Amino acid sequence: YYQGRCPALHTLRHTTMVVEVRLLLERSLSREEYEVEFFYGHELAITSTRPDGAIVVQRAQKTALVFLEADCGTERLTSPHTYSLLGKFRDGYAPYFDTEQYKKDFAWAGSLHGFRVALVLLGPKRLANVQRLLAANSLDFVLLATMDDIMREGVHAPVWRSHDGNIVDILGRRHG
């Protein structure tokens, strides 16, 4: 079933969350004028980090790249010795952004100018804690939303919070 055995409950919960976001994305952006491709993390050949998914959004001649991370609250936010959420962003995604390796990895998608990481969390308290952590570390490419927000409004809706508290859509555009 899962590497020959039944998956742990937290693995099953996480996998279900990623699939739910994908389904919500399909429903949400299909009404818009976008062409959307979704890839699960295991389908990607990225060495610096392993996202839960990647979303390539195209409209007219513009292309956006958004990595998906689903957070079930089981990972440490910070840790000097073990894996942590901050470490994944600071040591995985930030160098990937700075070196522009994503342009080579996703060259087939067209011209890319940066990327976003959409982090979906289960609750507002953890979202607030992660937002403070991102702001303190100037990780401005990460967007945050709760699962409830995107289930209610849609993945494309302006329910995402930037590191500095602005409300934006999944492409990082301000609304309102």
Residue 54 has pLDDT above 80, yes or no: yes
Whole-prediction pTM:
0.91
Query: The tokens of 69 are what?
Result: 């991370």
Higher pLDDT, 21 or 9: 21
Residue 31 has pLDDT above 70, yes or no: no
Residue 22 has pLDDT above 80, yes or no: yes
Residue for token pair 């930037």? 162
How far apart are the C-alpha atoms of 50 and 69, rounded to whole Å?
Answer: 9
How far apart are the C-alpha atoms of 8 and 167, rounded to whole Å?
Answer: 35
